Amino acid sequence: MDFKDLIKQLGERVIKLKEQILTEEAAKNAFIMPLLQILGYDVLNPLEVVPEYISDIGIKKGEKIDYAIFKDGNPTILIECKHWAQNLNLHDGQLLRYFHVSKAKFGILTNGITYRFYSDLVEANKMDEKPFLEFNIHEIKDNQVEELKKIHKSSFDAESITNTASELKYTNELKQLLQQELNNPSPDFVKLFARLKYPSVLIKRYVNNLYSIGTI
C-alpha cells in the first residue's frame, strides 16, 4: 500500500472511530501516532519521537509539548495535540510559545482530524500566525498528500520544506484574497476586468453604473 492509500485509510479510520474517542490521550493513540508512523517515524524510539517534551517558557519550568521529533539530536518538529472535538483556533498560541524557545523549525497543531503546519517564514525563530499547510485528514486532497509526503522521514529536508512552505503560504494568501474579491469585489478589482472588456473611456462610467444599480 503506497503513501496516499495509507493516508486515505487513516482518514476513514478517523471517521469510523471518532465518536468513541473520548479523551485527548485516546486521540493521540488512535489518530496522531498512526500518522507519525505513516510518515516513517519510530514512535517507540524515545530518541526520535519524544513524548511530553519539556520546553521551559520564561519563568515557567517544566512546560511540556505533546511530541517532539528529533533529527541529529535536535528537535525539528514540535507537535501539540488536542481532542478531535476541540477548536484549534483556541490553541495556536500555546504552540507559538513552545516554538519560540525551541530550535525546532516546524510546528504542528492538530486534533487528529485537522492538521496545521507552521514555520518561521516571516520572522526567524518566531512561529508564523498562519499555517503554510492545513488539511482535514478525511478530506485530504491529492496535492496536500504530496506536500505531506515531504515531511516523511526518508525525504525530510528542512531547507527544501521551508522553500515549499514559503510558496504555499503566499499562494494560499492570494487564493484567499481572490475569493474575497469574488465574494465582495472592490472598485479596483472591477476596473481590472473592465479594462479587458470595455474601452478605457467607458470604464469609469461602467463601474459607477454597476454601483448605482447595486450590482456590486
For position 42, what pLDDT does the model report? 96
**Cell numbers representing residue 168 in the block:** 504555499
Averaged pLDDT for residues 70-88: 92
13 falls in which pLDDT band (50, 70, 90)?
A: very high
Buried/exposed 69-94: b ≥16 CB within 10 Å, e otherwise: bbeeeebbbbbbbbbbebebeebbee
Rounded alpha-carbon distances, angstroms, from residue 129 to 26, 32, 97, 147, 191:
28, 23, 12, 20, 32
Q: Where are the domains of the chain?
A: 3-177, 185-212
Q: How far apart, in whole angstroms, are the C-alpha atoms of residue 115 and residue 141? A: 13
CATH number 3.90.1570.30 is the correct assignment for the domain at 3-177: yes
Beta bridge partners of 77: 69, 106
DSSP string, 5-21: HHHHHHHHHHHHHGGG-
Query: pTM score, two decimals?
Result: 0.76
198 falls in which pLDDT band (50, 70, 90)?
A: low
For cell 509526503, the residue is: 149
Name the pairing type of β-strands 106-110 and 74-81: parallel
Torsions phi, psi of 93, nearest 5?
Answer: -65, -30
Looking at the predicted structure, is the pLDDT value of residue 1 above 60? yes
Averaged pLDDT for residues 178-185: 71
From the list 80, 112, 73, 115, the residue with the least C-alpha distance to 98 is 80
Q: Which amino acid is at 29?
A: N
Are 6 and 139 in contact by the 8 Å Cβ rule? The answer is: no
Query: Residues 88-100: pLDDT tens digits?
Result: 988 777 788 778 7
